[in-house]
Homo-oligomer: A and B are copies of this chain.
Amino acid sequence: MSTPPRERWRPRPIVERMDRAPERVRVYEVGPRDGLQAEPAVIPARTKIELCRRLAAAGLRDIEATSFVPPSWIPQLTDAAEVLPALADLDGVRTVALVPNRRGLDRAVEAGTRHVAVVVSATESFARANLNAARQAALDTATEVTRAAREQGLGVRGYVSMAFGDPWEGPVDRAVVAATAAALLAAGCSTVALGDTIGVATPGHVHAIVRDLAALGVPAGDLALHLHDTYGQALANVVAGLDAGVREFDSSVGGLGRCPYARGATGNLATEDLVWLLHGMGIATGADLDALAGVSRWIGAQLGRTGLPSRVTTALAAAVPAAGR
């Protein structure tokens, strides 16, 4: 067996447009917030700022940069008031901060935030575990914060976490998911992201939830999918979401963030893997895949990790030795 004495091809998505695929979708980057909050390493604010700036330079236009949680909750994100203002000059980039309550909103506004995100669990167990509150009380808080933010002219994004499966309860009641998402939209959220926080969704489940929301009068264009790749299903669910009319997908550069409910397993869908899929389908994202892979390798090194979960970045680095940056 002889190898042809020629140069290897540098792999990239081969574009074959998919029937009914949209021209463009929004890639909503959650690495700096959702990713870093689940990484054990705590990195300096200047590294977080540089991460966001590198992601913007790679073409991403929607970046969840930090979270104004009480400092005791998430030690990785105590520097939100330092990170957020340092991104104010990023042109054409929507930088979003998560706010868990009214106090968080006030701190975010003081720091100059123009876009916030609120989160509600679809299950009682996770509401108590994550937010230390009853589910309904957390929904009341989120809708109050949403209204207050809208009154101040801020944009608001909603999350419904544990929208598919819950680590204690198992399968989640779809009626609760739909009602929660509809309540957040009614309160003033521009988009609600349905979170598969433990990664157990499959495509029929995605279709069913989108259909449930349509029955409540919520169009698929008001929804985003926040998918985790714990069981390897995230991109299959993106295909199902596209088919159902969803046009916004969350991802984390490199697949940053882990799964707190399955130690050693993968958490967030990797942005590079999502962008590879979309570009291959002929769908524009604005992102530069090679630049993203470079950011992925860089932040992995900052965290002292030998590799992040992204299959695209792992394979690109391995496929052509000269490709490493």
Q: Residues of A with Cβ closer than 8 Å to B? A: 1-4, 6-9, 11, 13-19, 21, 73, 125, 128-132, 164-171, 198-205, 207-208, 229-233, 235-236, 238-240, 243, 259, 261-266, 270, 273, 276-277, 280-282, 310-312, 314-319
Contact = CB atoms under 8 A, between A and B. Distances in A.
A231 to B, nearest CB: 5
Nearest to A281: B204
Nearest to A125: B4
Nearest to A235: B236
Closest 8 CB pairs of A and B: A202-B280, A232-B311, A16-B204, A18-B204, A265-B315, A262-B318, A262-B319, A235-B236
Contact of A200 (B11, B204, B270, B281): B11
Contacts of A167: 8-9, 319
Contacts of A129: 1-4
A315 B196 CA distance: 15
B236 A1 contact: no
B273 A231 contact: yes
Contact of A168 (B6, B205, B280): B6
Contact of A280 (B125, B203, B230, B273): B203
A280 B21 contact: no
A204 B235 CA distance: 14
Contacts of A9: 165-170
A240 B13 CA distance: 16
Interface centre among A1, A128, A316 (most CB of B within 10 A): A1
19 contacts: A2-B129, A3-B129, A4-B125, A6-B168, A8-B168, A9-B167, A11-B262, A14-B200, A15-B204, A18-B203, A18-B207, A203-B277, A204-B280, A232-B235, A233-B280, A236-B238, A262-B315, A264-B317, A265-B314
Contacts of A319: 167, 261-262, 265
Contacts of A314: 262, 264-266
B166 A273 contact: no
A324 to B, nearest CB: 12
Contact of A312 (B8, B128, B232, B240): B232
A70 to B, nearest CB: 11
A179 B235 CA distance: 30
A240 B171 CA distance: 26
A311 B16 contact: no
A17 B73 contact: no
A202 B166 contact: no
